[in-house]
Amino acid sequence: MTPSEPEQLEQSVERLTGLALEHGLDFFPMRYQMCPPEVLYSIGAYGMPTRFSHWSFGKAYHRMKSEYDHGLSKIYELVINSDPCYAFLLDSNTLLQNKLIVAHVLGHSDFFKNNAMFAGTDRKMVDRMAIFADRMDRFGQEYGIDEVEKFLDAGMAIQEHVDPFFARSGRPGGFREMDGEVKDVIGYIAAQSRYLEEWQREILHMLRAEMLYFWPQMETKIMNEGWASYWHLKLVRELELSDSEIIEFSAMNSGVIQPSPGRINPYYLGLMMLRHIEKKEGLEALFEIRETESDVSFIRNYLTRELAEEMDLFVYKKDGQQYKVTDKSLEEIKDNLIRSRTNGGFPYLTVKDDDLHGRGELLLYNRYEGLELDRKYIERTLPMVHQLWGRTVHLRTVVEGKEKTYMYDGKQLA
């Protein structure tokens, strides 16, 4: 950055903040942090500036960093759902890039603050995760780093299986039972396993708290990115840009929201849907939708035939060695999109029985919703659950149309 750029950025941020307020965005106070690529990638990999150590974060870090080094992809920004809201900007970004990103993250911050899915999230998670990291270090010193890592491997294998209902309703403790089943698998095991030591229980509770914090982001990816894209376009267009800045803006913008062949780009899909709604129902409707919907209901309620055609959406399937388009009907497109977004994209598991055969065996149940589980992963994950439960564990799911129960007793899988 040339010496005057920090001031220019300061002025632009001030201007964009003002514009956003004028347009009715309601966001948390913003804390922009300039940082070098390595820092951005590590925050990207960990999901937080400070979080506990695990090799899988190192793996993610390595992947992101080498993609950046090879010019394959670049993270421009990162934003954290917190109050104040932290946004990280790459210090090698151009001024224009940073303007665009500031506008984009203002959209995210407004979404975090107002969308119903985020209502129960802990806005002080930045600090809490740092505390968790300290605890984890202490456990490492006390029980051995390898021991902790091994336990984390097992805990993280089931960390997605939480129940966001409680976090949202703000009720502490306990489990929500539905038809005698508990969706909060990790919480249930943390509380009920007779096998765990206290530090291990604590780790499971920490993993669960972190997952509950991340959960709304997974449920609202399309909306959240669409909303942020909508606003960066609107706000940056109101800045006085030079000709060269306009060209740079267009290039960068199309890089972010361009449709990717064969895949759904959430930025693009979200943006297109929002614009469509705005055209029909006005801007007010958008503000309402951003408050109440998640991706699943958003798609269910607002994806129209017209839009699906305009975006050239289709359903495809593997046919031998080829991927073939199988359907273009709105119903099929919707069903498949919704299915892939349901439960954050994770299989829906519940604890169905914790005393199977009267021997304290655990039965997990997969509510089959048309997608089968990957067998190879069942074989690797069930032993992890066993490690946490300490006794034989079962998983009931559907394979080739028939109900099937897998079992792992500590020695072999059946």
Partner 1 sequence: MDNRMFMIARDDWSLHRKGEIDQERHKRKVKEAIRHNLADLVSEESIIMPQGDKVIKVPIRSLDEPKFRYNYQNEPQVGQGKGGTQVGDVIGQSGQGDAEGPGKGGHEAGDQPGEDYYEAELTIDELAELVFEDLQLPRLKPKAAPDMMIDDIRFDDVRRQGMMSNVDKRRTLFEAIKRQSLGGGITAMPHAAAAQSHWASPGEPATGAAGSATGPVTITGDDLRYKTWEDIRRPQSSAVVLAMMDTSGSMGAFEKYVARSFFFWMTRFLRTKYDNVQIRFLSHSTEAKEVDEDSFFTKGESGGTRCSSVYELALRILEADYPPGQHNAYVFHFSDGDNLDSDNPVTVRLANELLERVNMLGYGEIRQHVYGGKQLWEAMSSLTSPAFSRSILKEKEDVFKTLQAFFGEELAS
Applying the rule CB under 8 A, the residues between 9 and 68 that interact with partner 1 are 9-10, 13-14, 17-18, 21, 29-36, 38-39, 41-42, 45-46, 50, 53-59, 61-65, 67
**Binder to partner 1 among 374, 403, 410, 413 (CB under 8 A)?**
374
Place of tokens 């990162």: 78
**Size of residue set near partner 1 by CB under 8 A:** 94
Q: Cβ distance 104 to 227 under 8 Å?
A: no
Distance CA 175, CA 327 (A): 41
**Binder to partner 1 among 141, 321, 358, 412 (CB under 8 A)?**
321
Distance CA 266, CA 274 (A): 12
Residue 140 CB, nearest approach to partner 1 (Å): 12
Which residues from 71-90 bind partner 1, rule CB under 8 A? 72-73
351 forms part of the interface with partner 1 (CB under 8 A): no
Of the CA atoms within 13 Å of residue 130, those in its CB half-sphere come to 7
343 forms part of the interface with partner 1 (CB under 8 A): no
- From the number of C-beta atoms within 10 Å of its C-beta (0-12, 13-18, 19+), residue 357 rates as exposed
Reduce the DSSP state of residue 402 to 3 states and report it: strand
Q: Cβ distance 235 to 134 under 8 Å?
A: no
**Structure tokens given for 377:** 């992963």
In the shown chain, the binding pattern of residues 90 to 129 toward partner 1, with x for contact by CB under 8 A and - for none, equals -x--------------------------------------
List, in sequence order, every residue forming a beta bridge with 366; answer none if it has no partner: 349
Residue 93 CB, nearest approach to partner 1 (Å): 13
H or E segment and range at residue 349? strand 349-356
Residue 371 CB, nearest approach to partner 1 (Å): 5
Residue 116 CB, nearest approach to partner 1 (Å): 23
Angle between helical axes of 330-341 and 295-302 (0-180°, round to 10):
170
**Binder to partner 1 among 137, 291, 372, 409 (CB under 8 A)?**
372
**Binder to partner 1 among 25, 90, 101, 158 (CB under 8 A)?**
158
**Binder to partner 1 among 2, 4, 254, 322 (CB under 8 A)?**
322
**Binder to partner 1 among 97, 200, 220, 336 (CB under 8 A)?**
336
Which residues from 255-294 bind partner 1, rule CB under 8 A? 259-265, 268-269
Distance CA 306, CA 412 (A): 53
Distance CA 17, CA 284 (A): 20
